[in-house]
A and B are shown apart, each in its own frame.
Chain A
Amino acid sequence: MSMLEIKNLHASVNNHEILRGIDLTVNAGEVHSIMGPNGSGKSTLAQVLARRETYEIAQGEVLLNGKDLLAMKPEEAAGEGLFVAFQYPVEVPGISNAYFLRAALNAIRKYRGQEELDAMDFLPLLKEKMRLLDMDERFLNRPVNEGFSGGEKKRNEIVQMAVLEPRLAILDETDSGLDIDALKIVANGVNSLRSPDRAMVVVTHYQRLLNHIVPDYVHVLVDGRIAKSGGPELALELEEKGYAWAEPEAAISK
Chain B
Amino acid sequence: MSSTKTIQDFTSQEYKWGFVTAVDEDRIPKGLNEDVIRLISAKKEEPEFMLEWRLKAYRHWAAQEKAQAEPRWANVKFGPINYQDIVYYSAPKKKPTVKSLEEIDPEILRTYEKLGIPLEEQKRLSGVAVDAVFDSVSVATTFKEKLAEKGVIFCSFSEAVRNHPELVKKYLGSVVPYTDNFFASLNSAVFSDGSFVYVPKGVRCPMELSTYFRINASETGQFERTLIIADEGAYVSYLEGCTAPIRDENQLHAAVVELVALDNAQIKYSTVQNWYPGDKEGRGGIYNFVTKRGKCLGVNSKISWTQVETGSAITWKYPSCILMGDNSIGEFYSVAVTNNYQQADTGTKMIHMGKNTRSTVVSKGISAGHGQNTYRGLVKIQKGATGARNYTQCDSLLIGDKCGAHTFPYIEVKNSTARMEHEASTSKIGEDQIFYLRQRGLSAEEAVSMIINGFCKQVFRELPMEFAVEAQKLLGISLEGSVG
Contact = CB atoms under 8 A, between A and B. Distances in A.
Interface of A: 50-54, 73-75, 77-79, 82-84, 86, 89-100, 102-105, 107-108, 111, 119, 122-123, 140-141, 143, 160, 164
B441 A52 contact: no
B440 A94 contact: no
A102 B220 CA distance: 48
Contacts of B456: 94
B461 to A, nearest CB: 10
Nearest to A140: B484
A107 B442 contact: yes
Binding site secondary structure of chain B = helix
B463 to A, nearest CB: 15
A92 B483 contact: no
B430 A90 contact: yes
B440 A78 contact: yes
A100 B439 contact: no
B440 A102 contact: no
Most buried by B among A51, A89, A90, A97: A90
Contacts of B3: 53
Interface in B1-21: 1-3
6 smallest beta-carbon distances between A and B, as pairs: A94-B454, A96-B484, A99-B484, A74-B438, A104-B440, A107-B441
Nearest to A126: B483
A119 B482 contact: yes
Contacts of B442: 75, 103-104, 107
Interface in B232-291: none
Given A52-B435, A84-B439, A103-B442, A92 B454 contact: yes
Interface stretch (B63-71, B186-194, B211-219, B444-452): B444-452
A236 B455 CA distance: 47
Nearest to A85: B439
Contacts of A94: 453-458
B484 A98 contact: yes
17 contacts: A73-B438, A75-B439, A75-B441, A75-B442, A75-B444, A79-B441, A83-B439, A90-B430, A91-B433, A94-B456, A94-B458, A95-B450, A96-B483, A99-B480, A103-B442, A104-B442, A141-B484
Nearest to B2: A53
A83 B441 CA distance: 9
B75 interface: no
B437 interface: yes
A103 B446 contact: yes
Contacts of A108: 440-441
Interface of B: 1-3, 430-433, 435-444, 446, 450-451, 453-458, 480-484
B441 A90 contact: no
A96 B480 contact: yes
Contacts of A83: 439
A100 B439 CA distance: 12
A170 to B, nearest CB: 10
Contacts of B1: 53-54
Contacts of A86: 436, 439
A122 B436 CA distance: 21
Contacts of B438: 73-75, 78
A53 B4 CA distance: 11
B451 A92 contact: yes
Contacts of A78: 438-441
Nearest to B395: A93
Given A86-B436, A99-B481, A111 B454 contact: no
Nearest to A84: B439
Contact of A90 (B432, B455, B458, B481): B432
A94 B454 CA distance: 4
B471 to A, nearest CB: 14
Contact of B433 (A54, A92, A96): A92
A107 B481 contact: no
Contacts of B2: 53, 73
A22 to B, nearest CB: 20
A250 B454 CA distance: 47
Contact of A50 (B439, B443, B444): B439
A111 B440 CA distance: 12
Contacts of B458: 94
B437 A97 contact: no
A82 B481 CA distance: 26
Contacts of B439: 50-51, 74-75, 77-78, 82-84, 86
A91 B2 CA distance: 21
Contacts of B483: 96, 98-99, 102, 119, 122-123
A127 to B, nearest CB: 11
B422 to A, nearest CB: 19
A103 B433 contact: no
Contacts of B441: 75, 78-79, 104-105, 107-108, 111, 164
Given A103-B446, A108-B441, A90 B453 contact: no
Contacts of A50: 435, 439
A74 B446 contact: no
A154 to B, nearest CB: 14
Nearest to B454: A94
B480 A95 contact: yes
A103 B457 CA distance: 16
Nearest to B479: A99
A86 B435 CA distance: 11
Contacts of A74: 435, 438-439
A119 to B, nearest CB: 4
Contacts of B450: 92, 95, 100, 103
Contacts of A99: 480-481, 483-484
Contacts of A91: 433
B484 A90 contact: no
A73 B53 CA distance: 64
A99 B454 CA distance: 11
